[in-house]
Structures are given as C-alpha cells and as structure tokens.
Structure 1
Amino acid sequence: MKLVTYKAHVEAPARLGVIEDGIVVDVAGFGEAVGLDLPDRMLDFIDLGPVAVRQLRNALHTADGDWGNALALPVETVKLLAPIPRPRKNIFGIGLNYLDHITESAKALDTDDALPKEPVVFSKPPTAVVGPGDPVRHDASMTQQLDWEVELAVIIGTTASQTKRENALAHVFGYSVMIDISARDNRRAGQWIFSKGMDSYAPFGPCIVTADEIPDPQQLDLWLTVNGVEKQRSNTAKMLFKVDELISDVSRGITLEPGDIIASGTPEGVGAGRDPQEWLWPGDVMEAHVEGIGTIRHPVINATEFK
C-alpha cells in the first residue's frame, strides 16, 4: 500500500489516506464504511502494528473500488504533506554509506577515505521535515554551499532494541524518499547536525510504501536531478551497510520506536564532489526518486521570501 498524509484542500485538516489507482481514499472514513476502527493520522496507524496493515489491505481488496461514503479524491487534486509531518524524534541520518560517495567526500570534504568500520550516524530534527512541493530555504547569510543527497528513508513499525540483523527487516513499517539537504560550510568542528538539520533540510515523501511491497530494499534504483539535469543515479545494492545492518547497529544503543525514520545514505553525484563544485541556489528545482515509491519535487527559495 501507498499511504499518504494529505489535505483535501488548503484549509482542510491533515488526514491519513491510501492511494488506490490514482485515487486518495481517506483511511478513517473508509474504515468506518467497512466496520474497521482506523485512525486519521499516520503515526497512530503505525502504532497499531502489522495487524492494522493487514486489515486495511484486505478491506481494500474486498472493496474493489467501492469506497462507500469515504472521501475519495484524485491524487492530483489534493495537497500531499510529508507522510509523517512531524516525526516524534530526530531522523537518524547515515553518512558515507555508498562506496563511490566515500571517495568523492574524501576528495571534496576532507572526510576519511577509508571505509567506515561501522555506520556513521548523525541526526536531523523534526523541524527539518517538509512535504512534497514545499520549498527548501536558502539563507545566504548561513551558507554558500547548499547541497543535495537523494536517500531511501526507512520507517520503523515495531520497537527494535538490540535487534539482530537477521530479524531487523521485520521491524520495518515501510519506505519513502528523502533528500538530505546539507550546508557543507556549516560542518562545525566535524559536527553535522547544524549542517544537515536546518529548517526545510529534510524533504520527505510523497508516500510511505508498506514493507510487504518492497521485500528487498537493496534492489532499488534511485536518482536526483537539478533543473532537469541528472546529478545522481545509483542502486541501493551499493550501500556499504545494508538496511538490516543499519537497524541492528542503531538499535544496539538507541531503541528504535514506531514511526522512527532512518535516512540510509546517498550515492555519488553530490554537488560538493563535482569538478567544479556545484551548489543549490534560489530558483533551482530538485526532483528525487526511489524505485517503487515515487518522486518528490522541491524548489529552492530565498529564505527571506519564506512566510
């Protein structure tokens, strides 16, 4: 299933929807029509666990396009928000997780050219999240080196603590797309959170695809363009630390809870690694895609224009 958080119109409340054949079906309304008590918020739905996913999937199959009295609107007519508009905790970012990106980072950003022996973990605060179509803010007083990184986002479904690698994928609720925006000139004494955690630096969406539809997260193409020009193209098979390893490693010391997000790292092709280097500026437009999930598109604007 492709689950979204959406608004039926600009002033409507945010609600949980599921995309079926190009139609966004309101989950709570559909549940009421078929006798299921389903929530209207993504985090509340994730909290219900795998049983709710199975119930909704089976009910959609049985309905076969009959949504009863549930609100059902063409996806192009609604406003999609970030699937989880306000995560409960910081997003777990993973640095230097594709082999070629390790090489380009060592040349351009003075990072170690040796392969990490364990995942490099940083974080982005919940306030960094923006939804599909929302602008990324460029504050020239803060950065002259704004960069892009397309990533597979992993959404945790059940609590994982000291989880073994062989059991790790069972804790995944689903997958999404994230752009890890980075102000390269704000890596303060090697600390990345300010560089990567400013407002609007975590574009996220357009949906969460439930894990049952992506049985192998290590076989997904991903790409990113700027102004229609391809900058990144790779496959998640090239991750140094695979999704199950990341979950196992983080959960060794930090309990992963339902709704937590891991941004699993980016491949080569970032602006800092190019010769000459390239940066994002107001007026630029990024598109990022992960196979089987979808595409997000984000303009870059002058931060002083944001209201």
Structure 2
Amino acid sequence: MKLVSYIHQGKNTYGVLLPDGGIVDLASRIGHEYPTLLELVRKNGYAAAQQVLNNAKSGDVRESDIRYLPLFLEPVTIHCVGLNYAAHAAEAGHKLPEFPRTFVKIPAALVAHNEDFDKPTLSPEFDFEGEIAVVISQTARKVKAEDAAKYIAGYTCFMDGSVRDYQFQRTLDQGKNFYRSSSIGPALVTPDEVGVLDHLTLTTIVSGETMQHTAFDNMIFTIPKLIEYISDFTELHAGDVIATGTPEGVGFSRTPPRFLQKGDVVEVIIDKIGTLCNKVS
C-alpha cells in the first residue's frame, strides 16, 4: 500500500494512493479507531486498511484534487544520516566513516510533496540531497540488525535540503534546518510493496538534469544497521523517520557548484516508492 496524508476540501485526512491516481479515503471508514495515518502505524492497523482497500471499487478523490501533507500531522523525530555512500564521502573530502554520523531535522524544515521550498535569504548555497527514508513501526530500543525488519512501517522519499556555508562554517544543525528547506513523501510505502531494497535505485533530477543516481546496495551502513545503531543510543517510536543519507552528485561538489535557484524543480525518484517533487520559490 501507498499511504498518504492530505487535505481535501479543507479537511485533514489520509488514505491509500492507487496506481491510477485515485485515493481511497481511510479516515471516513476506519477513522474511529485510526484517526490519523500515524495512529494507523502506531496501532498496526495495516490489516484494517487492506480490508478497506480490498472492498473499494475505486478512489474517493483524485490525487489532482488534494494537497499533500508531510506524511504525519503529529510531530515525529527525524534522524538523518550523513556520509553513508563512499563516493559521496569522497566528493565531500571525508574518509569513510567508522560509524554512522547522525543529526536531527526539525519538523519546521519540512514541506510535503508538491509544496514549494523557501529559498534561503541568508545564503546563496542552498543544496539538494536525494535520499530514501525508513519509517519506524513501533517502539524500538536496542534492536539487533537481524530483527530490524519487524520495526519497519515502510519507506518514503526524502530531500535533505542543506545550506552549505551554514553547515560548514557554523553548525551542522543550522545548515540542515532552514525553514521549509527539505521535503518528505509523497507516500509511506509498505515493505511488502517495496521488497528487497538492494538493487532498487534513487535518482535526483534538478530542473530536468540528472544529478544523482545510485543503487541502495552502495550504502555503507544498511537500513538494519542504522536501526540497530540509532536504537542503541536512543528510543525510537512509531512514525519516527530515519533518512539514510545521500549519494554522490550534490551541488557543492560540482565545478562550478550547482546550488538551487528560484524556479528550480527538484525530483527525488525511487523505484517502487515514488517521486517527491518540489519547486524552489
């Protein structure tokens, strides 16, 4: 299933995105028990959602008639991983990390699919990073990598917007948390629909030009290893997000650098998961 949160006719709701662009509204059918997508994840309501989907003859609304929300209405913790591809570490001038490098992104930094980024006014160095993100299904503490699959609610696309001079000259958290500089979505795609990640690919396109392309078997630290590492030092909760890092091809490493400008359109495309698209305004 591809689960989406959205606004339709002024109302926040959620449902299942169909291949034809229709959306089956779940809140109107099972909202008494699972009022939001996050509650569906927390209460392991996938079977109830699948039953609704099986009984639906078509979508209730069209994708063209809704405005996406960034997965969840409620705040969740967003853990981001840096330098998780060898070629990206090399282009950034770093040696291969011995352990995952993480930071936290705040909700105010995120917009949904088809929403505009706010181009920073304090810096000209607004950069793109396409990533796959994994969403946690239940409370997780000291999870072993071999058990990590039981804690995965699904996957989504992520654009880790980075303001490079603030990141490099001030602090990582500042450079990674400019207002409306990153995005997530459009859908939370359940693991059964995605299958094995290793040979699936990620592509980042900026205004029609392919900037990044890689397969996920190029990750230094796999998703199970990231869940193990992060759950060792903190407790993860249902709905928490781990953005797993970006491959080579980011803007600051190019000659000349390719930073995002007003009017640029950024697409993060992941096999079996979807396309996250945002314009810089």
Normalised by the size of structure 2, how large is the TM-score? 0.94
What percentage of residue pairs aligned between the two structures are identical? Answer: 31
Report the alpha carbon displacement of residue 154 of structure 1 after superposing the two structures with TM. Answer: 0.6
Equivalent in 63, 69, 74 of residue 62 of structure 2: 74
Within-5 A mapping of 1:56-205? 56-61=49-54, 63=55, 65-66=56-57, 72-89=60-77, 91-106=78-93, 112=94, 114-140=95-121, 142-187=122-167, 191-205=171-185
Per-residue CA deviation, residues 178-214 of structure 1 (Å, 9 max, x unaligned), is 1000000002656311101111122111111012222
Report the alpha carbon displacement of residue 280 of structure 1 after superposing the two structures with TM. Answer: 0.7
Pair 85,104 (structure 1): closer, same or farther in 2 beyond 3 Å = farther
> What RMSD in Å do the two structures reach over aligned CA positions?
1.7
Equivalent in 35, 39, 48 of residue 55 of structure 1: 48
The number of residues matched between the two structures is 280
Distance (whole Å) between structure 1 residues aligned to residue 74 and residue 265 of structure 2: 24
Residues 120, 178 of structure 2: 8 Å contact kept: no
Q: Which residue of 1 aligns with 2:202?
A: 222
Residues 16, 39 of structure 1: 8 Å contact kept: no
Larger Rg: 1
Per-residue CA deviation, residues 236-278 of structure 1 (Å, 9 max, x unaligned), is 1111000000000000011110010000000111001111111
Residues 86, 126 of structure 1: 8 Å contact kept: no
Q: Which residue of 2 aligns with 1:289?
A: 269
Equivalent in 12, 15, 19 of residue 14 of structure 1: 12
Counterpart secondary structure, 1:14: strand
Residues 83, 204 of structure 1: 8 Å contact kept: yes
Residues 188, 194 of structure 1: 8 Å contact kept: no
Distance (whole Å) between structure 2 residues aligned to residue 85 and residue 280 of structure 1: 28
Per-residue CA deviation, residues 4-59 of structure 1 (Å, 9 max, x unaligned), is 011123xx121111113421111022337xxxx5423111111112xx11232134
Distance (whole Å) between structure 2 residues aligned to residue 295 and residue 152 of structure 1: 11
Q: Which residue of 2 aligns with 1:25?
A: 24
Per-residue CA deviation, residues 85-135 of structure 1 (Å, 9 max, x unaligned), is 45333x1010000111011011xxxxx3x2101001011111111011111
Q: Which amino acid aligns with 1:60?
A: L
Q: Which amino acid aligns with 1:149?
A: E
Q: Which amino acid aligns with 2:5?
A: T
Normalised by the size of structure 1, how large is the TM-score? 0.87
Counterpart secondary structure, 1:118: coil
Consecutive unaligned residues of structure 1, counting only runs of 5 or more, are 107-111, 302-307
Pair 150,45 (structure 1): closer, same or farther in 2 beyond 3 Å = same
Consecutive unaligned residues of structure 2, counting only runs of 5 or more, are none
